[in-house]
Amino acid sequence: MSRALPKYNKRRVAFIGGAAAVVLTGAVIAQSALAGETSKSNDSARTLAGAATITCPDVASQLPEIPASAQAEVDRNLALLQTQIDEANQRLVDTVGEGGANFVQNAILGPLEDKRIATVNRIATAIGRTAEKPQGLDALAPCSLGADGAADTGEEAGAGDEAGATPSATATEGAGDTGDDAGNTGVGTISCPDVASELPEIPASAQAEVDRNLALLDTQIAEANQRLVDTVGQGGPNFVQNAIVGPLASKRTAAIERIAISIGRTAEKPQGLDSLAACTVTQ
């Protein structure tokens, strides 16, 4: 009996130790599972909290007729305005839950407004070089915050105002002019002069490059027609000209110039093709 007792005790200790290990392992697994669910819950909360979207007044629809000499610079700055909004929206997502009551205004909307002021001023300056400089565009610089892409109606938010980047910020006037004088009032179709029929004999060495750019001209028209469809009812009286037809003319000018240059490398360079760049919209 005296020799059997230690073996029994060893087996007992081994059994207790194994049971403890199982309990500990189960606790670790349970804790890990709980952490995973907590992480998923936080991710879901973050996604919901980041559903707000920055809304800015549309600048293109408020511009006067843009001189051809200013079109390229205006287009670049209109594209920059969109980039600025996209970056601000990304910052809104990245900073969900950060800061205090004024975080969104001070860290996101305020800096965005400053950038937009500089950009719309460059647009006004570009137009003003060869035409009357548009005034008051800086009034389009301030942006607002709304949920799910819709501008807030302006009523004060309730609980959660002390949070940082949340959708509780008060919004201001919605973007763009959507009144009775909206520019894109119907689908319509964009019509452009045919370039291929106006070209001289094309050298064999230039044929491939000319073909590529002729195909690109067709693609540009198709994209502009799709934009015409996608923006029905949007913008002010100059929206179609400034946001669709004008940029299309700039793209066509560049493509046509490439065609002329490619022909001119081994033959006489065709002149006056840029007159074929301008397009019209027929309803």
What pLDDT, on the 0 to 100 scale, is given for residue 231?
84
Kindly indicate the confidence band of residue 165, based on its pLDDT and cuts at 50, 70 and 90. very low
Is residue 212 within 8 A of residue 259, CB to CB? The reply is: no
Distance CA 24, CA 22 (A): 5
- pLDDT per position as a tens digit, 30-80: 343 434 433 333 333 333 344 488 999 999 989 999 999 999 999 999 999
- pLDDT per position as a tens digit, 184-223: 556 789 999 999 999 999 999 999 999 999 999 999 999 9
pLDDT exceeds cutoff 50 at 277: yes
DSSP letter, residue 147:
E
pLDDT exceeds cutoff 50 at 148: no
Residue 243 has a CB neighbour count (10 Å cut-off) of 25
* DSSP characters over 164-193: SSSTTSPP-SPSS--STT-S--S--EEE--
Higher-pLDDT residue of 14 and 223 is: 223
Q: Please write down the HEC assignment for all residues of 103-116.
A: HHHHHHHHHHHHHH
What pLDDT, on the 0 to 100 scale, is given for residue 186?
62
